[in-house]
Structure 1
């Protein structure tokens, strides 16, 4: 997504002026955030910067003390995790919350099982064929390769498990997917597998938020990088126009080494003016 497209389209998910405190600790202070369809946004910051609190506000686990929650341009009332999920916001936490002793189909539909009725309309049972059909279609749509739909998840690699957890978040009508440290415990090959899946989510028009400490992964897949520091927004950067050094400077507050987007634009305008007078 280009900067022009971002500026002229309505965000899928938008937070305005969100604040949240826990006792005397101010975790978030007037934070704004937005993500558009077909966009990957990296959410970065040091430990304690407020990333986890912000994501939990997006997912409905934490209710903000102040601010506004908008989805598809409309302000929404959020009273718990079920509300964002109903809007189309799905979260994949770092622990994945998979059941290792269950197969892929069971993990994808756990808590959202398809039910069939018996001939007398009184007997209810799991519709295994329908769930297997939907699971196969979902995995094919996002090119997720696994040994078998009926293989136990506990036998699979870290990359496959992460992919299954992401796929589970898409059962239903997810429009925005929040990924908490999706590559933290993965090797090189498994990381590449998960990042490829993130790209496919973007290609399918989803908005993806990637919370990560790994700037190499962030720069590889993200369109914009949202930096948090001490519970506030430290800056938002176009990944293609930024550098890891600039992002680290924003994270740590090293202002002497950081050029903000506004400063970079002003410098470029000055250079252009000099060229025009020569």
Structure 2
């Protein structure tokens, strides 16, 4: 029997950039195929060609062995292809049921249906029936999508795909914003889809998850096929070598710490209903991990220290002296930087260049006499950090929005390195970036610590947290639930504290 989907010899060029060059990709019924590659490898372009967002320059697409034409998203939908993007495509002010049947409204029968009246009761019943097929519990079809967690929003997207009889579902980084307990729930639903005979394409940078859910993997590199492996043969080392074209000797290059004096002290930090009585310290040259489940208050602690959110009580000391931080500007002047979890919304100005973003925090220092900006000095400063952090392409004149996720994150870090900090708060610094860029950012974290910077590291990836931290603080429901030394810390102990167990 012919494969469910075959893409043969797909090529696509954007101006002077060859995004895809003779790429082959296939998925069968009841199969989960991992699609891997560094940022910029061509994964997104291939997916968008399949979804009808882009048209191919060359190559063939076959469904069930027959050539098909996909010129727009409607063509893809008619063929049973659904793509669930990392940025979910839902309308937050409508209900779950309205979103599920957005493209196929459940009309009333006879005249009322012809007049456009929707059968809300039928829509709710059919939405609930889809949830039951997928094993989804606790999701009310009448709730507004904007009120849902990311996990429930993703489940709504999956139900929406099934509502128009999708036979192939592409999931682009579906676990990037999910806590560990929700990832396993998603995997259970993927297994149900597989058992029903659907094909699933699973795009992810998390290799442990790829091995947990996929039957085989296909790797792209520089717009070309780099190879494919059955999952039993897909070790980290082999996958990384295929993705980056070289072996990465150490994904977590952490050297033994030599902590100095206490730089940052937080005592009794409280924001009512959000965080309560947070007390800890970080020494010079130390990486302190802040772990916890999504919603535990980790990000809120970082934002409170940085002055982005108000606090009701508590004291912050820098080098033993109490400081008052009422805004991010105060934090910046005191030598505190913050790399937020959403780099595109909070960390960068996407419509500005790499040069402009890199020097945002130091423009006043680069101004002659505090008034006139020295543009040659701006360029030299930006180029210095672009070179030091190996931003690719190594150009300061490019719009930062045109860079891959990993390179965008390097620009966020460059912005703060230029500011000559004492304390750096890192919130999910490697979320959504490829394994090569992860290794580079891990090496940078280690280097900054060895230069004497005090670093607070927030991460939902426990292997990263365990490997890069000298100590780990664990939060649960807005409070610190405990502290673990590097020697004591295991995934089991961290999760036990995070879930409220001692």
TM-score, length-normalised on structure 1?
0.85
* Distance of aligned partners of 1:122 and 1:198 in 2 relative to their CA distance in 1, 3 Å threshold: closer
| Larger of the two Rg values belongs to structure | 2
1:66 aligns with 2:71: no
Q: Which moved more, 1:9-18 or 1:148-157?
A: 148-157
Write the mapping of 1:87-236 to structure 2, written as runs, cut at 5 A.
87-117=79-109, 119=111, 123-236=115-228
Identify the structure with bigger relative contact order (alpha carbons < 8 Å, sequence gap 6+).
Answer: 1
Tell me, in whole angstroms, the C-alpha distance in 2 between the residues paired with 1:240 and 1:130: 45
Deviations 1:123-150 (A, max 9, x none): 3300112211211111100101234221
Alignment check: 8 A CA contact 2:240 2:248 kept: no
Shift of 1:96: 1.0
In the comparison of the two structures, how many residue pairs are matched? 249
In the alignment, which of 240, 245, 253 is matched to residue 245 of structure 2?
Answer: 253
Tell me, in whole angstroms, the C-alpha distance in 1 between the residues paired with 2:248 and 2:176: 30
1:51 aligns with 2:17: no
* Distance of aligned partners of 1:179 and 1:256 in 2 relative to their CA distance in 1, 3 Å threshold: closer
TM-score, length-normalised on structure 2?
0.48
Deviations 1:185-230 (A, max 9, x none): 1111122221221111111110000111111111110001110000
Q: Indicate the residue corresponding to 1:272 in structure 2.
A: none
Q: Indicate the residue corresponding to 1:11 in structure 2.
A: 3
Gaps of 5+ in 1: 1-8, 258-278
Tell me, in whole angstroms, the C-alpha distance in 2 between the residues paired with 1:126 and 1:119: 12
Deviations 1:88-110 (A, max 9, x none): 11111111122222221111111
Gaps of 5+ in 2: 250-502
In the alignment, which of 18, 34, 37 is matched to residue 26 of structure 1?
Answer: 18
Alignment check: 8 A CA contact 1:158 1:190 kept: no
Shift of 1:111: 2.7
1:35 aligns with 2:27: yes
Shift of 1:121: 7.0
Alignment check: 8 A CA contact 2:216 2:231 kept: yes
